């Protein structure tokens, strides 16, 4: 099923029109404590919200777990949700991932709508049908492919975000640009972060969403080319998991940005990716995202975390790498020594 992506300038009006066009039995709303306070007022005027049964969970990726998922299931069950009910997920990537998985599994699946409230949620988690929760210290270890009925994206939400949270989403846009074309990459690298133009950011966002949508349509269940969307994530998820173990959690997009640097280094070594572009991306990432504080004593733990990545096959760590910008090579492997060299490059 193709997701309907709605580029909205009035989230309340567009949500009202969307709900009016649908037939459902019971409307439910899932938020977290922040989006309940700051974002729900933007859709509260929609008449259907008056009868919607609402539930919120604590904010933060640390709550994207089985315990929170179970509470959402309990809420739906106790309020007589059925297979014709509709769930609205209003929040960032953590919430749309968890809410989507709750909907995908409750009574073997109910329909849901995502309204992402962060740039990361809009460009990554809310679009493409991946849902899930973290488990046993590993990112998105439990999940399912389940596309939302619709995704309503209103960039007005993003004006409430601080720069680190904007940059977190922007890392996924950088990844999409690398998968697309030199022109897309040039636009991403030259956005002015000192004076943020939200209209320009919104335009870049939708160009990025269309890149992801095109890849997902070609391969909805990640049997082939959709694996390209994992660029930066094999290292990135390991960095993110380690940051939680060290009690110094980092934003998802920051971990992805650092992972992109490491995986472009592997692309340079193994596939001849342009060294000048590698250096350009490295400078961009270090200037905007800093660097993850780790040293060579933690290489072993990073390697162990990478071994748990869902893309791995036959015991080999699997990467999506680039021969050049827009020229993707999936199902690439690297030796432990090469992975160590990539970490050395990042750490230098």
SS3 231: coil
Residue 87's alpha-carbon distances to 76, 101, 238, 336, in angstroms, are 9, 11, 32, 44
Say which residues have a Cβ less than 8 Å from residue 323's Cβ, sequence separation at least 6.
267, 271, 272, 273, 329
What is the rounded average pLDDT of the residues 263-285? 98
User: CA-CA-CA-CA torsion for 348, 140, 336, 303, nearest 10 degrees?
Assistant: 70
Nearest to 256 by CA among 145, 80, 83, 123: 123
Are 53 and 28 a contacting pair, CB within 8 Å? yes
Residue 315 confidence (pLDDT) above 80? no
Least confident of 120-129, 149-158, 226-235: 120-129
Report how far Cα 217 is from the mean position of its chain's Cα atoms: 17
Check whether 252 has a pLDDT greater than 80. yes
- Up-side HSE of residue 39: CA atoms within 13 Å toward CB? 28
> Residue 85 in 3-state DSSP?
coil
179-223 per-position pLDDT tens digit:
999 999 999 999 999 999 998 999 999 999 999 989 988 888 888
Res 68 pLDDT > 80: yes
**CA–CA gap between residue 279 and residue 73 (Å, rounded):** 47
Give the chain's domains with CATH numbers.
4-160 (3.40.50.1970), 163-347 (1.20.1090.10)
| pLDDT at residue 314 is higher than 80 | no
Share of the chain above pLDDT 90, in %: 82
302 pLDDT more than 70: yes
Residue length of the chain: 348
pLDDT for the residue numbered 282 = 98
Average pLDDT, the chain: 94
Categorize the per-residue pLDDT at 308 as very low, low, confident or very high, splitting at 50, 70 and 90: confident
Give per-residue pLDDT as tens, 75-91.
999 999 999 999 999 99
Q: Where does the pLDDT of residue 139 fall: very low under 50, low under 70, confident under 90, or very high at 90 and above?
A: confident
**Of the ranges 24-38, 107-121, 126-140, which one carries the lowest mean pLDDT score?**
126-140
**Of 53, 50, 127, nearest in space to 85 by CA:** 53
Phi/psi at 26 (nearest 5 deg)? 100, 120
Question: Residue 1 has what pLDDT?
Answer: 60
> Please, is 287 exposed, middle or buried when counting C-beta atoms within 10 Å of its C-beta (0-12, 13-18, 19+)?
exposed
CA 308 vs. chain centroid, Å, equals: 19
Mean pLDDT of 156-164: 90
When pLDDT is averaged across residues 294-300 and rounded to a whole number, the result is 89
Residue 127 banded pLDDT, cuts 50, 70, 90? confident
Beta pairing class for 318-324 and 4-8: unpaired
CA triple 151-233-326, angle to 5 deg = 80
Percent residues over pLDDT 70 in the chain: 99
The pLDDT value recorded for residue 242 is 94
Helix axes 182-189, 163-180, angle to 10 degrees: 160
pLDDT level of residue 72 (50, 70, 90 thresholds)? very high
């Amino acid at each position: 099923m193709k997701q309907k992506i709605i580029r909205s300038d009035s989230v309340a009006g567009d949500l009202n029109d969307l709900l009016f066009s649908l037939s459902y039995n019971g409307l439910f709303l899932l938020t977290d404590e922040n989006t309940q306070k700051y974002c729900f007022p933007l859709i509260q005027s929609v008449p259907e919200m008056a009868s919607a049964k609402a539930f919120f969970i604590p904010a933060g990726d640390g709550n994207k777990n089985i315990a929170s998922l179970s509470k959402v299931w309990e809420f739906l069950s106790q309020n007589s949700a059925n297979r014709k009910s509709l769930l609205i997920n209003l929040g960032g990537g953590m919430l749309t991932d968890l809410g989507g998985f709750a909907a995908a599994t409750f009574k073997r699946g109910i329909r849901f709508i995502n309204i992402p409230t962060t740039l990361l949620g809009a460009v990554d988690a809310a679009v493409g049908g991946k849902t899930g929760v973290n488990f046993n210290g590993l990112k998105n270890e439990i999940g399912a492919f389940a596309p939302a009925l619709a995704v309503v994206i209103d960039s007005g939400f993003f004006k409430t975000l601080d720069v680190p949270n904007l940059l977190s989403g922007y890392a996924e846009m950088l990844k999409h640009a690398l998968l697309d074309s030199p022109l897309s990459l040039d636009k991403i690298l030259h956005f002015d972060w000192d004076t943020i133009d939200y209209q320009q950011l919104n335009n870049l966002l939708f160009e990025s969403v269309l890149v992801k949508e095109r890849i997902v349509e070609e391969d909805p269940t990640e049997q082939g080319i959709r694996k390209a969307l994992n660029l930066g994530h094999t290292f990135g998820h390991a960095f993110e998991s380690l940051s939680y173990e060290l009690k110094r959690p980092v934003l998802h997009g920051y971990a992805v940005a650092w992972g992109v640097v490491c995986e472009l280094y592997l692309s340079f070594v193994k596939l001849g990716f342009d060294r000048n572009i590698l250096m350009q991306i490295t400078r961009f990432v270090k200037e905007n995202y800093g660097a993850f504080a780790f040293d060579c004593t933690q290489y072993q733990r990073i390697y162990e975390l990478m071994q748990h990545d869902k893309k791995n096959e036959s015991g080999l760590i699997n990467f999506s790498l680039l021969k050049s910008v827009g020229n993707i090579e999936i199902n690439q492997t690297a030796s432990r020594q090469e992975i160590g060299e990539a970490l050395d490059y990042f750490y230098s």
